[in-house]
Amino acid sequence: MTEHHARKRFGQNFLSDPNIIRKIVDAIRPAAGDTIVEIGPGLAAMTDPLVERLGHMHVVEIDRDLIARLKERYAPERLTIHEGDALKFDFGRLGAPLRVVGNLPYNISTPLLFHLASFADSVTDMTFMLQKEVVMRMVAEPGTEEYGRLSVMLQYRFRMARLFDVPPGAFRPAPKVTSSIVRMLPLPPDKLGAQDEALLGRIVAAAFGQRRKTLRNTLRDFLDEPDFAALELDPGLRGERLGVADYVAIANHVARKGASPV
Ligand code: SAM
């Protein structure tokens, strides 16, 4: 088969280091009977050892050339290929419990993580490779530079751990940055606590919209001085000082007041 030329617009960097591939697949711990979907199988660096252990799996791939290769290589009873954009894919239709893995296209990683978070209820775990800098933001603690909207919204739904780093030399072509493997375990629904998750999302977006401003400014559409007092919250703080539980408390207070902005 002719060589595939990596397409930048699809964020294509293909894993080529067999030791790293083995390490990632071991971290996923695939077991026969698991329903696993891989986002962006590419040239099947991870798909191959996964299918080997699972017998069957699902993949979502956008690149038609890669899809044609996958079809040639795998019988449909071993690989179900979903052709199209993972950002629009309904992961819920694969049934629960679902395990999601992938060396994600870095150019769409943030919207993809938000899209995937909406299927957390039917997911057992997700194991992804992402830019290290994004993983650091996902697992960041309050008060740190990396802590932001992505940290709060994902930590609200998942327990997350950075497992190990992967150097640029493990890929062809080599990316400019170091990557990390992250594991995401959905929290049980009764642990989440926000009465209105869309409202929580709007409040967190507002709090981090202008990082240098205080909550008094950034949350002025949601909270007035008595609200801050009722929540025992210092309006002079910046959004980065608050933990996930603080944001949930704010969102539930606003929901109770019925005073979300128009
Ligand atoms: N898994 C392979 C590996 O580790 O070598 C390829 C990883 S490469 C970083 C990202 C893969 O995601 C490519 O195969 C690319 O075509 C695919 N991809 C990019 N954007 C996508 C999208 N929106 N939906 C589904 N797949 C996408």
In the reported structure, the alpha carbon of residue 66 is separated from the centroid of ligand 1 by a whole-number distance in angstroms of: 9
Three-state secondary-structure class, residue 87? coil
Residue 104, amino acid: L
Q: Residue 43: what are its φ and ψ, rounded to 5°?
A: -90, 15
Sign, CA torsion 214/220/221/224: positive
Query: Would the pTM count as exceeding 0.85?
Result: yes
Q: Give pLDDT, residue 262.
A: 44
Q: Whose CA is nearest to atom 14 of ligand 1?
A: 42
Residue 258 above 90 pLDDT? no
Task: Quote the percentage of the chain above a pLDDT of 70.
Answer: 98
Q: CA-CA distance, 133 to 40, in Å (whole number)?
A: 20
* Domains annotated on the chain, with CATH: 8-190 (3.40.50.150), 197-257 (1.10.8.100)
Residue to mutate (ligand 1; options 5, 9, 37, 62; most atoms within 8 A of CB): 62
* Helix, strand, coil percent content, the chain, rounded in steps of 5: 45, 20, 35
Q: Whose CA is nearest to atom 22 of ligand 1?
A: 85
Average pLDDT, the chain: 95
Tell whether ligand 1 has an atom less than 6 A from the beta carbon of residue 86.
yes
Residue 21 neighbours by CB distance under 10 Å: 18
Q: What angle do CA 204, 197, 113 make, to 5 degrees?
A: 70
Residue 155 above 70 pLDDT? yes
Tell whether ligand 1 has an atom less than 6 A from the beta carbon of residue 186.
no
Residue 134 above 70 pLDDT? yes
In the reported structure, the alpha carbon of residue 102 is separated from the centroid of ligand 1 by a whole-number distance in angstroms of: 8
Q: Give pLDDT, residue 261.
A: 52
Residue 260 above 60 pLDDT? no
* 8 Å CB contact between 151 and 140: yes
Give, to the nearest 10 degrees, the angle between helix 18-28 and helix 47-54. Answer: 40
